[in-house]
Amino acid sequence: MTETFVIVGAGLAGGGAAATLREEGFDGRLVLIGAEPQPPYERPPLSKEYLRGESSFEEALIRPPDFYSDNDIEVYFGVEATRVDDAEKAVELDSGELLAYDKLLVATGGGNRRPKIPGLGLEGVYQLRTVADSDRIRREVAPGRRAVVVGMGFIGSEVAASLRQSGVEVAVVDRNGVPLRRVLGEEVGRVVEAIHREHGVELIFEDTVAAFEGDLGRVQRVTTRNGRSIGCDFAVVGLGVQPVTDLLADTGVEIDNGVVVDEYCRTSVEGIYAAGDVANHYHPVLGRHIRVEHWQNALKQGAAAARSMLGKGKPYGEVPWFWSDQYDLNLQYAGFHTDWDELVVRGSLRERNFVAFYLEDGKVLAAVAIGRGRDLRRSIPLIKAQRQVEAAKLRDPDIDLRTLASVQETHR
Amino acid sequence: MAEFVTVARADEKTVGEMRAFDVRGTRIAVANENGTFYAFDDACTHLQCSLAEGNLEETTVICPCHGAEFDVTSGAVLQGPARGPLATYETRVEGGALEVEG
């Protein structure tokens, strides 16, 4: 009997998994369900090239539009999967239709946090997750217009940069004293701060939005807890993401900061898998569960989950990695850290050409680079090795990082 | 028939692992994989970062900005985010000089 695999979520993880299943020879029924009307696409350009009008939507598609019909993948785009019944092994769609599955992949991704701020529903107040969101913001962009960006995480930082590059006057409100502090820490956060200041972004720190206000249902100003009133033509809110797990509420699937999966992307219910932004995945190298909201993880973990569904999976142990382009600078991060006890810098923070290593007990947990992508790539084996490295060697630009990684190997 | 342009002395010191040259107005990167030279467009087909500033792992070149990977022997994309293949060029060594098709 033909098996049916259903994938809920048609982003990079889900769409990529569908492609992998066919490429790996799955010849059963394959159904791909996505809440958005478009075929699977990549999100990184939405805050950057696409938002600035420098790239087309077609360039963001992960496969040509015909790929799905050509590969006998049944698609439900613009359709929401509302509920999974793990006893009946069926997915319920918003149309009421029920789809039976033998194996199910949950790749529903994240949804933007929507804090209860008065006026959040006014016209001209945007969020950014989908191409439709990016299109709405694009329509507001024109030189001399004024925008308030709320939250200076990676999305907020990239949107602020793209808007400035398009001639928009930008003010940012962030509750922290330094952008991206939670991820990058004080020193590197200050570098990002200085870059934005130089590009004319007004930075309002240690403050939060009290309300979006305006007449006739349209935002005209943003007021803050500290009593600021910032006039604007539009606003973009980027206050983080939460995993979309509602559809699993009636199942036995363990949910804890997303869908909990093992190193093979298997959930606590047999036959149900998860990958991408929604998955809180047991990372075999790091020895803990992590949930990663980035492009590389969606791409590679989606493919890994597909192979697991076919019974030929391997533990997924890629070192998390992402980039963030802001203005003419390329920032990259690899690894995973929440705390660290030493920051070792190779290169110069001041000149914005560096790779900085986050160490704990002398082990490299993660690295961040600006303008130094070659070294960042060479740091990944060091992170994977999970062994102590001399700080002086990390700092010395004359030492090839690859030799440090290979020294690590020989000491095993 | 292809015409060749001399770009450098064909030794480790001048080429190193990878280096970009101007060949009749085009930036062309040359990768040296154990003494075999491969030439290809220096600009990544994704967002035009210089591939010569990236990494060479055997015959795979990795973009320093966004991690796109190409096979330097064919120009084929091995890993996104790049979609389009790289143009590649013939190389030859004549009398100790590295020449690239231009």
User: Is B64–A378 a contact, with Cβ atoms under 8 angstroms apart?
Assistant: no
User: At A267, is the secondary structure helix, strand, or coil?
Assistant: coil
Q: Alpha-carbon Rg of chain B, whole angstroms?
A: 13
* Mean pLDDT across chain A: 95
Q: Residue A59 and residue B83: Cβ atoms within 8 Å?
A: yes
Q: What percent of chain A has pLDDT over 90?
A: 94
Could you give the maximum distance between any two Cα atoms of chain A, in Å?
A: 69
CA distance A335 to A321: 6
State the best of A374, A375, A401, A403 to mutate against chain B, taking most chain B CBs within 10 Å. A374
Q: What is the mean pLDDT of residues A136-146?
A: 97
Interface size A-B, in CB pairs within 8 Å, comes to 35
Partner residues linked to A229 by β-bridges:
A223
Contacts of residue A400, Cβ cutoff 8 Å, sequence gap at least 6:
A378
Measure in Å the smallest separation between the Cα of A257 and chain B Cα atoms: 28
Please indicate whether, in this complex, the C-beta atoms of B65 and A49 are within 8 angstroms of each other.
Answer: no
Task: With beta carbons under 8 A apart, name residues in chain A contacting B49.
Answer: 330, 373
Q: What strands, in cross-sheet order, belong to the sheet with A98-100?
A: A81-85, A90-93, A98-100
Q: What are the pLDDT digits (tens) for A278-307?
A: 999 999 999 999 999 999 999 999 999 999
HSE at residue A237, side-chain half, CA atoms within 13 A, is 26
Q: Is a pLDDT exceeding 90 seen at residue A93?
A: yes
Share of chain B above pLDDT 90, in %: 63
**Sheet (strand A229-231) strand order:** A209-213, A221-224, A229-231
Does A299 sit within 8 Å of B54, measured CB to CB? no
ipTM of this complex prediction, to 2 decimal places? 0.90
Residue appearing with tokens 């001639």: A167
Helix (H, G, I), strand (E, B) or coil at A373: helix
CB contact under 8 A, B83 and A374: no
- Report chain A residues touching chain B, CB-CB < 8 A: 42, 44, 49, 59, 295-296, 299, 321, 323, 325, 330, 332, 373-374, 377-378
B60: closest CA of chain A, how far (Å): 13
A67-82 mean pLDDT? 97
Model confidence at A409, pLDDT cuts 50, 70, 90, reads: very low
pLDDT digits (tens, 9 = 90+) for B9-53: 877 666 678 999 988 889 999 999 888 999 999 999 999 999 999
- The minimal CB distance from A330 to the residues B55, B65, B81 is found for B65
| Residue A411 confidence (pLDDT) | 43
Closest by CA to A104, choosing from A41, A29, A35, is A29
Share of chain A above pLDDT 70, in %: 98
Question: Does the pLDDT value for residue A228 go beyond 50?
Answer: yes
Residue A72 has pLDDT above 60, yes or no: yes
On chain A, the residues whose CB falls within 8 A of the CB of B83 are 59
Of A42, A299, A373, the CB nearest to B65: A373
CA A216 to chain CA mean position, Å? 35
Per-residue confidence (pLDDT) for residue A356, from 0 to 100: 97
Average pLDDT estimate for A79-94: 97
- Look at residue A410 and tell me whether its pLDDT is greater than 70: no
Among B58, B65, B79, B83, the strongest candidate for a mutation testing the A interface, having the largest count of A CBs within 10 A, is: B65
pTM of the model: 0.93
Q: Which residue has the tokens 């990878």?
A: B18
Pairing of strands A229-231, A221-224: antiparallel
User: What's the pLDDT tens digit per position in B50-90?
Assistant: 999 999 999 999 999 999 999 999 999 999 899 999 999 99
Q: Which of A182, A237, A173 is nearest to A207 (CA)?
A: A173
